[in-house]
Amino acid sequence: AEMDHGSLQYQDFPYRISDLKGRVSYFSNTGVTRFEQLTGKHGSASLSADGSYARFANDGRLELKVSAENASCDSSLKLALPESLQELWMNFAPTGKVNLDTHVIWERGKPLQVGIPRIDWFDGSMSLKDFPYPLDNLKAQGSFRVNPETGVNEVRMSGISGNHDETKIRIAKALAGVTPSGDWWVQLDKMTIDDLSTDRAFQKALPEAMASALNTLNIQRPISANGMIEFRGSQQPGTAITAYWDMNSYLAENTLTAGVDLTKVYGKVHSEGTWDGSHLHLKGDLDLDSVVILDYHLTEIKGPFEIHDQRLTVGSREIRREKTQSVSLPQINSMQPITAKAIRGVLTCMGDIELNDVPTYNMQIELNRGLLEEYAARYMPGQSQLRGVMNGWIQLWGRGSSKSDLKGQGQLQISPAAIYELPPIAQIFKVVRLSQPDKTAFDSAFCDFTVSNQTFHLKYIELKGNAISLFGQAGEAHFDGRLKVDLFSQLTRRQLPLPLITQLIGHATSGWIRVELRGTTSSPIVDIKSNPLLDGSLKTFLNNGMRGRPAGNATGRWPRPAQTSNQTQKQQFPLLFAQ
């Protein structure tokens, strides 16, 4: 028999077919009814089918193969799917067009079996219910089947591509599954994202804790990424959608905030994390080529970090703030710190940052064997003769990016210290009228300081050399370059610069002078105070100064330079005089 202008809707596959035509044949000796050359319409979709119904096989078996071209991803197609897939459909809300081949098998007394060996999806879009970040212009190829061993409904997709505004997304393969109990997952493998903007629209799609952390990081330019993401959920009411990811992110000339502003960021960040519906847990590794922090250029920035909800941790949160420390800090039990190369030395960094609207931070940075000449070449034009090996540490804590909220403490040692060309040092030599020393000028330089109110508070200063040694405490060096530093030095009578000064201070202090350093780092003003002003402050300095230098180096990593026998007496404070 041939049929034309027909319609049909199978009760277990509610997908109405109109304009149905084709051939139906029946053979009584086999009990088989065949459906051949079937064609029909469903909206804009064109359908074709072949199949058979075997009356005597397993008390009745229907097998039908249906192809659809240009079918719409609409509610009628959703209702035609197995119930388990309908829940997955509602979580992802796909739209667009599909070409597909469907294989339907029904046996009396058994559930309907539906397989879709071919799916071509195009002009599509989707948006995950708990991650409303719509993707458009989607296309993909895939298939659907029920795993005979596990009973899991499986959707496999490949060649997925689409975009969100200027963000382009490609996914090599994806697997979605729904278990008989209603649990589901979607795994996106070999995913590539180009030009992802982490702007307000993207943050709005994220859970609050993730959005807050990302907002604080304030990534200024689009990034690229690749890796995998997995979402999980359940049809059980009240069950949150969770996520797991393993991604590499790539930054090029980017800017972000991690307590302080990081600019000109180039390199890769690897992260592996989970979102359980309430809490964010992430571990990652930095592999950055370069970054600029506080106008200083760092390279080869490497090391691990963690984010737990809104706390970013590198190395350790147990940063100690002790009143007295040596240049070498005690070791802290921690994971490997972040390391970077700077001025041909090595920086290490550890600490934590609260990624709130106004971030708070507590960081510790150590410098090992940085070169003063490299620092001068980069950041001090015209100071080409500076030389020295720098070791030191600084602890910083505060809120936001305002310098006024920055506090800290630290120490810096330069040994040897060829710092004669520094304007303040050169001016001291000029005023004191010492003969120009060799370019080394000092055996070592040391400073113990704190930071607050946009000022370095110089608790103790020590510049040791053959021509002159300088000591000081309670000085100030402001962030804008202003200086207020008092230094003391013990000169021989032959070194005293003027007869008047010799008369005033030569006998009273055995050659001790007080040098007032004012002005700025670029335009210093040096003044030598005479005996009436010197006497009281010198005694105070000598009494306190003996306790000003922090304790010796406990770890021995950065030992103080050894003293020769003829230097020892010159460089010791005259305790008897101070008393």
SS3 assignment, position 270: strand
Q: Using CA atoms, how far apart are residues 104 and 119, in angstroms rounded to an integer?
A: 15
Taking each helix axis as running N to C, give the angle between helix 499-509 and helix 531-545, from 0 to 180 degrees, rounded to the nearest 10: 40
Place of tokens 């010198």: 538
In a domain, 51, yes or no: no
pLDDT at 207: 81
SS3 assignment, position 439: coil
Which two tokens mark 25?
Answer: 């044949």
First to last CA, the chain: 125
SS3 assignment, position 398: strand
What are 128's strand-pairing partners? Answer: 131
Supply angle C-alpha 373, 376, 379, rounded to 5: 150
Say how many domains are in the chain: 1
Q: Could you list the pLDDT tens digit for every one of the 579 residues in the chain?
A: 999 999 988 776 678 889 999 999 999 988 999 999 999 999 899 999 999 999 887 788 999 999 999 999 998 888 877 777 888 888 889 999 999 999 989 898 888 888 899 999 999 999 988 788 999 999 999 999 999 889 899 999 999 999 999 999 999 999 999 998 889 999 999 999 999 999 888 888 888 778 887 887 889 999 999 999 999 988 788 788 899 999 999 999 999 887 678 999 999 999 999 999 888 999 999 999 999 987 889 999 999 999 898 888 887 555 544 444 445 444 444 467 899 999 999 999 888 888 887 888 888 899 999 998 888 888 877 777 788 899 999 999 988 777 888 899 999 998 877 776 666 676 666 665 555 555 556 778 899 999 999 999 999 998 887 777 888 888 999 989 899 998 887 664 444 444 444 444 444 445 677 888 899 888 888 887 754 344 555 556 555 554 445 544 433 333 333 333 333 333 333 333 232
Residues 6 or more apart from 148 whose CB is under 8 A from it?
none
559 preceded by a cis bond (ω within 30 of 0): no
Q: Which helix (H) or strand (E) holds 372?
A: helix 372-379
pLDDT at 332: 46
> Among candidates 550, 132, 561, 157, which has minimal Cα distance to 330?
550
Region for residue 485 given its phi and psi (left: phi exceeds 0; alpha: psi -120 to 50; beta: otherwise): beta
In a domain, 414, yes or no: yes
In a domain, 478, yes or no: yes
pLDDT at 353: 87
pLDDT at 378: 85
Q: Using CA atoms, how far apart are residues 332 and 232, in angstroms rounded to an integer?
A: 38
Model confidence, pTM: 0.76
Residue 551 burial class via C-beta count within 10 angstroms: exposed 0-12, middle 13-18, buried 19 and up: exposed
Which two tokens mark 464?
Answer: 């040791």
Helix/strand number for the chain, H first, E second: 10, 30
Stated length of the chain: 579
pLDDT at 117: 95
State the residue range of the domain holding 419. 387-578
In a domain, 55, yes or no: no
Are the CB atoms for 524 and 518 separated by under 8 Å? yes
Other CB atoms within 10 A of residue 53 CB? 18
Per residue, the 3-state secondary structure of 187-254, as one string, reads EEEEEEEEEECCCHHHHHCCCHHHHHHHHHHCCCCCEEEEEEEEEEEECCCCCCCEEEEEEEEEEEEE
In a domain, 465, yes or no: yes
Q: In Å, how far from its chain's centre is CA 333?
A: 22
Which two tokens mark 449?
Answer: 């300081």
In a domain, 431, yes or no: yes
Which two tokens mark 401?
Answer: 């990016």
Q: Using CA atoms, how far apart are residues 488 and 472, in angstroms rounded to an integer?
A: 6
pLDDT at 535: 52
In a domain, 459, yes or no: yes
Q: Using CA atoms, how far apart are residues 496 and 480, in angstroms rounded to an integer?
A: 33
In a domain, 525, yes or no: yes
